[in-house]
Amino acid sequence: MSNQEQEQFEQRKLSNIVSAILMANDINTPENIDKLTNHLNKTATSEEFEPFEKVAFDLSITTTSTPKLMLMHDNDITNAFIHVIKNPDMFRSNANRKQYFKSLLSPEPVDISEQMDPDVITHASEDKQTGNAEPEVIEECPVNEPPYFEPGRYPDIPNDVYHSSNGISSSMLKDGRISLMYFERRHISKVIQRERSEALGFGSLFHTLVLEPEKVEDEFSLPPVIPAEALTNTESMKKWIEKYNATLQPVMSNDELKAEIDAYNATLPQPLPLSGSVEEIGGLYANLPDEFRTIPESDKHTAAAMKACIKTFNNTLPTPLKTSGGRIDLIRELEMINPELVETERNKPDPLNTSGKKEDLIARIKGVSPNTVFADELMQAWQSDESRIRITADQYRLGKAMQQAVFDHPEAGKLVTHPNRAVEVSYYGIDDDTGLEVRVRPDLEIQYDENLRVGFDLKSASLGRYKQDAITAMIRKEIINRDYHVSAAMYCDIAMLDQFFWIFVNKDENYHWVAIVEASPELLELGRLEYKKTLRDINNSMNTGVWPAPVTETLTINLTDFETRKLEELQLEEA
C-alpha cells in the first residue's frame, strides 16, 4: 500500500470510528463530528471527548487483524464498531474484537467460540450464506442493527421495517444523484435527517387510499372533531367560570359575618360602668355578688375601692367577639360560638377567579370539573400521537377525490383492483457490478401470465394549468426531473418486471384527470445506465472514504444564447 493509500485508509478508519462513537452515544451532530475528529487527531482538545480516547484506541487496534478492511463498506465497518461499543461484555479483550472483525471478512465461517463469550452472536458468516435456500430474515443480529433480508421477494414487510432494512433503495440512490456528499450525510453519518413534509404525508395517504384503502384508518389520523361544548379560548373559559360561579351557594359577606357576631355580643352581660358619682358607684357596688363586695365594713367605702371591686367583677364577664379585620379574622371569631355555621361556610366552594393566563383558567376549571373538554388538549393529543401519520381534513378530502378519479377511470380502475395484483412487495438483491445490496418496493405489480409481470407506480402531479398539447412534454419532464425512470429501471431489474407504467393523477382542485404512462425501453435503459453509474460512484466512495461535494472545481458561468444576443444588443447601443 502506497503512502497516499495508507493515509486515505487511516482517514477513512478515523471517520468510521468517529461516526460509531457519536452514533452509539446519540450525539451525532456535525459540530461533534468536527470536535471529536480534531480531538483524536490532536489538532484540538475537548475535555468532553477525553472519555472516548480509549474507545477510539481500542477500535483502531481491533482492525489490525483485518487487512481487507478497505474492501468493506463504511456502513458495515461503522455498524460493527457500534456493535462492539454497545456490547462491552461481549468483547472484553482486543483478541475478541479482532476475531470478530476477521469473521466479517472471512470467506469461510470462523469459529470464535473459544475466544469470545458464549452469548456473543456474529452475523458475519450468516451474511455470506448464498445458494438455493429460501430467502429468510436473519433473526439474530447485533443490537440496534437494522433488519436484514437475504435476496428475494418479500410480500408482507411493514413499511417502516422496509425503510430501515439493508440495501440501497431507489430513493437513497436518488440522494446519491444529488451528490455523494449528500448521500453520505443523509444515509451513513446520518447528520441530515429526513423531514416529514406535508407533501410526503399526502403522497402516502393517496397511495393508501387507492391501493390499500382498508389501511387508511390504521395508518392515518385526521384532526379530532371538536365537540360543540368544548372550551376553545380564554373568552369561552371565562364564561364557563362565570356560569359555574353563579350556581354556587353564596358565601356570607363580611357584613353578614359581623352581624352574626354583633347578635351574639348583644346577648352578653354588659360591664358595669366605672364612671359616675360616689352615690352611683356605691349603688353598683351594693348590687355586686357577695364574693365581689370585699371592702371590710369597718373601712371607708371610697369610690376608688368600690371601682376596684366593680372592675374585678367586670373581668369575669364574657369578652365580646371582635368585629374588626378581614374575612379570615371574622370566621375565626365566629367559630368560637357557632362552629357548625363556620363548618358549613367553609364547605362552600369558593368562586373561581376569571383572571389569569389560559393555562391558569384550564387548571381552575379542571379542579372543579375534570371531565370538561378543552379543544387545545384534543389537538395536543392528536399532534403528539406518532403512531399514525397526521393529515388535515383538506388533504383527506383531496385524496378521496383523486381516489375516486382513479377508480372511475376505465383502465386505471381495473389495474388497481386487478385480481392478480400485489401491493407494496419488497425485493432485495445484489448489484452485479459493485456487489452492493439493493432493494425496491414497487407500488403495484400484476402477474398477467407466466411470461408477463408488469409494475406500476402511482404518482400525483399538479399539471392542470398546462395546455392539452403540452401535457405529454410536462409528464416527460416530471419523470426525468424526479428520476422516476431511474426508479423504474431498478424496479424492473431487481423485481424482474417485464414492463413498467406510471399512473399519473392530476391533483389540481376539481380537475383530477388520470394518465397511464408506459416507460419505453429507451427510457428504462437510460434509467438503468444512470442508476448503475450512481451505484459505482457510491461503491467507490465507500471504498475510498471520499464523498465529493456537488461542486469540486472552479466554475465558469457562460451566457445562454438569449443572454449573448442581449449582450450584443447592448454593445451595439454603446457603440
pTM score, whole prediction: 0.59
Pure H helices in 141-292: 159-163, 170-178, 180-187, 198-211, 216-219, 234-247, 254-266, 278-286
C-alpha cell belonging to residue 160: 417502516
- Which pLDDT belongs to residue 7? 72
> What is the rounded distance in angstroms from the CA atom of residue 33 to the CA atom of residue 37?
6
> What is the rounded distance in angstroms from the CA atom of residue 232 to the CA atom of residue 228?
10
The count of C-alpha atoms lying within 13 angstroms of the C-alpha of 379, restricted to the half-sphere facing its C-beta, is 8
Residue 335 CB burial class (10 angstroms; 0-12, 13-18, ≥19):
middle
Q: Report helix angle 3-24 to 53-62, nearest 10.
A: 130
> What is the rounded distance in angstroms from the CA atom of residue 296 to the CA atom of residue 282?
14
DSSP letter (8 states) at residue 374: B
Indicate the domain borders of the chain.
3-145, 198-221+392-544, 234-368
Q: Report helix angle 254-266 to 327-335, nearest 10.
A: 30
Tell me the CATH class for 198-221+392-544: alpha beta
- Which pLDDT belongs to residue 147? 86
DSSP state string for 418-445: -TTEEES-EEEEE-TTT--EEEE--SEE
166, 483 contact by CB (below 8 A): no
Per residue in 532-554, pLDDT tens?
999 999 999 998 999 999 999 99
411 or 122: which carries more pLDDT confidence? 411
> What is the rounded distance in angstroms from the CA atom of residue 104 to the CA atom of residue 207?
40
- Phi and psi angles of residue 145, each rounded to the nearest 5 degrees, phi first: -80, 150
For the chain, helix, strand, coil in percent to 5 are 50, 10, 40
- Phi and psi angles of residue 273, each rounded to the nearest 5 degrees, phi first: -70, 150
In total, the chain counts a number of residues equal to 575
Q: Residue 28 above 70 pLDDT?
A: yes
- Which pLDDT belongs to residue 321? 93
Q: Residue 71 above 80 pLDDT?
A: no
Mean pLDDT confidence for 283-296: 91
- Which pLDDT belongs to residue 107? 45
Per residue in 203-220, pLDDT tens?
899 999 999 999 998 889
Helix count and strand count (H, E) for the chain: 25, 10
31, 22 contact by CB (below 8 A): no
Comparing CA positions, the residue from 469, 567, 531 lying closest to residue 175 is 531
Confidence of residue 500 (pLDDT cuts 50, 70, 90): very high
Q: Residue 1 above 60 pLDDT?
A: no
Mean pLDDT confidence for 444-456: 93
- Which pLDDT belongs to residue 346? 85
Which residue has cell 455498524? 79
